[in-house]
A = this chain, B = another copy of it.
Amino acid sequence: MPYPASARFDVGSLSIPGGVSVVWEGTRTPMLERAVGRFRARLAALGGIPAPAADAPGAATTPLHIHVGADPAYLSVTAREGYRLTVDAHGIDLAADGPAGVLHGLATLLQLAQAGPQSPAIAYVRIDDAPRFAWRGVMIDVARHFMTIETLKRQIDAMEMVKLDVLHLHLSDGQGFRVESRVFPRLATVASHGQFYTQGQIRDLVAYAADRGIRIVPEFDTPGHAFALLLAYPDLASQTPVPGDRHQINVAAINPTLEDSYRFLRRLYGEMGHLFPDRYFHAGGDEVSPTQWTKNAEIAAFMRQHGFATPQQLQAAFTARIQKILQDQGKIMMGWDEITEASIPDNVVIEAWRGSKFIASATRAGHPVVVSAGYYLDLLQPASEHYLVDPLDPHANGLTPDLAEKLRPKLGAMVDALKLDPSATMSPAQDRLVMGGEAPLWAEVVTDEMLDARLWPRSAAIAERFWSPASVRDVPDMYRRLAVVQDELCVTGLQAQANRYRMAARLSPGDAGPVLTLADATSPIRHYGHNHSAAHGQKGPIVQQMNTLGDIAAPDSAGAERFSDLARRYVAGDHSVRPVLEAMLTRWRDNDAAFQAVSAGRPILEDARPASQELKALAQAGLDALAGRKGKDWRAATGALLARQDQAVAASANMVVSHTVAQPPADLLQDITPGVRTLAGLD
């Protein structure tokens, strides 16, 4: 995962008792040697062999021939990423057009390796592979909750293993400005609460990512989402910033009528542009609140004086000047799709987050586009929903017509803009402008310890969407492979499983099992419903540790997916799976007794007791179905039970617009519902 463009498996496998010894053909660089070092360590971790300290001549190593040419475009959007891989009885042969191809080939090899009794083995195979899209990214918001360098490095390691190649860092927002500026030191002392990256840390992180074929694209969001910056430099604000003001945190914007604002941003972007060497520089541009400007008398006067009829027009003028600043500094500007309102050069990259309309309009205007609509990981949708969104199929993107209708009463005209545009078909020329996609993870309710489990495994499924042929879209098959990949990521260093255990153990030290069993069978409510709970419960500090079942439960339940899979096999006639089905259901049912016991006197867990009882009821219904206890009353009760779960999922879809929709207990959805429905014969 991602599945290769072309793979042919042969019978047999190559045993690797003592690791590999590399035979280099072509360019051999320190960077490639470090890549082989990582490969060896990961192979050792996955295969259960000791990592050899170095090429040991005479040891029983397996030859790995690497043919690679130089690629001047390495670490750019035109890097040569293709590779060909052959594993047979003679050894391993990896041929790549450039260093990126070597990294990808090694990542594929790792996924082919399986632990054996004495040594790992790799199946015989011929693979010819290259990505569908050049831009395969994730975005991590380090402004809402700060993430440590160590945590970011773990994500970069995982990204390398699934061939993602862009890490977009959202480095400033209302809650904080996260990079040390030597030109504007108050950004660290006033705007960061002490949580920022030093310039040395940034250089180290950029080099770490570059070694793994990953470009870091920085984002410093303006003119909106600028509260923290404006606390440090209030003269640039449109409305005087007041520390701790909850509304301003989200809406405060830079004053675009002041020359000082442009002088400030020219110097700041110049400094940051040196620190982040990538050609692309993300300047934000999203969600500017019109009243920030219209309610400032001087700005309103400026607008009248210069003929700006709307705040949008004023923002367009701002955008054009920022683009010019970045262009002067040798950068290609990138921004959220709001910036398409401005008259900007073709090469500005538009990040389309509000649906297909903006993919179509931006490409029609000749802009390269990176698609993030449909991949918002903070919506807490399961992997399958993102997986089926294709960057080139606008009708699969973002808002559906149904959801757009629901949004209208709340958002009015904005929905009309968002609504699926029937004319949003794409010409082949427009398709070619879609550089790829990005999965954003906004961090309102994601702490450092939660990041691994919120970003993964879903990013691996999305990586497959961005890399593999569009025809690869079998969801059950994806889930089977996703569970394996997630474990491989954890074995090689990801802390997703480890940190979820820690969160559960914090709530129930000495007996975390019942908490984890409930969390493993459930998922948090979607579409920002869980954010609203956090916001309502929020007291004291702005940055809050997330500490509930809804924070521990993952958007996908690997166990529930496996259960659904087995349930489908069972009703299709494969009764061999029945003992495992019964064991799973019995465990979920019986967990309630243990959960009730450990939750006593612990308010966070007590809140989740009804969810535990609901899981028990669902599991009992599944057991009844397996045992053939399906009378008329049972059908009615089970139907009602299942309908209640469906309503909770459906209500999730409204949560983006309503804080008041009824939420299920402890913000948990019951993931075993589809499998129980299958067993009950009610689907």
Contacts and interface: CB of A to CB of B under 8 A. Distances in A.
Contact of A48 (B488, B540, B547): B547
Contacts of A509: 46, 483-484, 487-488, 491
Interface string A45-64: 11111101110000110000
A304 B486 CA distance: 67
Q: What is the oligomeric copy number?
A: 2
A507 B547 CA distance: 31
A195 interface: yes
A559 B594 CA distance: 12
A647 interface: no
A591 B583 contact: yes
Given A491-B502, A559-B513, A507 B544 contact: no
Contact of A506 (B59, B115, B501): B115
B53 A194 contact: yes
Nearest to A589: B583
Contacts of A558: 510
A166 to B, nearest CB: 27
A628 interface: no
Given A116-B603, A510-B480, A580 B593 contact: yes
A543 interface: yes
Contacts of A586: 586-587, 590
A579 B583 contact: no
B513 A487 contact: no
Interface string A94-126: 000000000000000000000111100000000
Interface string A78-92: 000000000000000
A579 to B, nearest CB: 4
A75 interface: no
Given A194-B54, A544-B50, A590-B582, A603 B117 contact: yes
Contact of A541 (B18, B46, B510, B582): B18
Contact of A487 (B495, B512, B545): B512
A507 to B, nearest CB: 6
Contacts of A48: 506-507, 545, 547
Nearest to A582: B590
A498 interface: yes
A558 B562 CA distance: 27
A662 interface: no
A44 interface: yes
B497 A510 contact: no
A220 to B, nearest CB: 22
Contacts of A50: 447, 541, 543-545
A580 B597 contact: yes
A490 B484 contact: no
Interface in A565-614: 579-580, 582-583, 586-587, 590-591, 593-594, 597, 602-604
Contacts of A511: 483, 562
Contacts of A34: none
A247 to B, nearest CB: 22
A567 to B, nearest CB: 15
Contact of A583 (B18, B118, B193, B590): B590
A17 interface: yes
A491 B513 contact: no
Nearest to A593: B579
Nearest to A591: B583
Contact of A507 (B115, B505, B543, B579): B115
Given A491-B502, A507-B115, A53 B540 contact: no
A539 interface: yes
Nearest to A119: B540
A226 to B, nearest CB: 22
A117 B497 contact: no
A115 B509 CA distance: 9
A510 B484 contact: yes
Nearest to A60: B540
Contacts of A483: 509-511
A19 to B, nearest CB: 10
A305 to B, nearest CB: 43
Contacts of A591: 583
Contacts of A539: 118
Contacts of A60: 540
Interface string A464-508: 000000000000000010011011101100010110011001110
Contacts of A447: 50
A591 to B, nearest CB: 7
Given A193-B53, A540-B60, A603-B116, A501 B490 contact: yes
Nearest 4 pairs between A and B by C-beta?
A: A583-B590, A498-B498, A53-B194, A484-B510
Given A44-B545, A50-B544, A491-B506, 12 more contacts: A46-B506, A47-B506, A115-B547, A116-B603, A117-B603, A117-B604, A483-B509, A484-B510, A579-B590, A586-B587, A586-B590, A587-B590
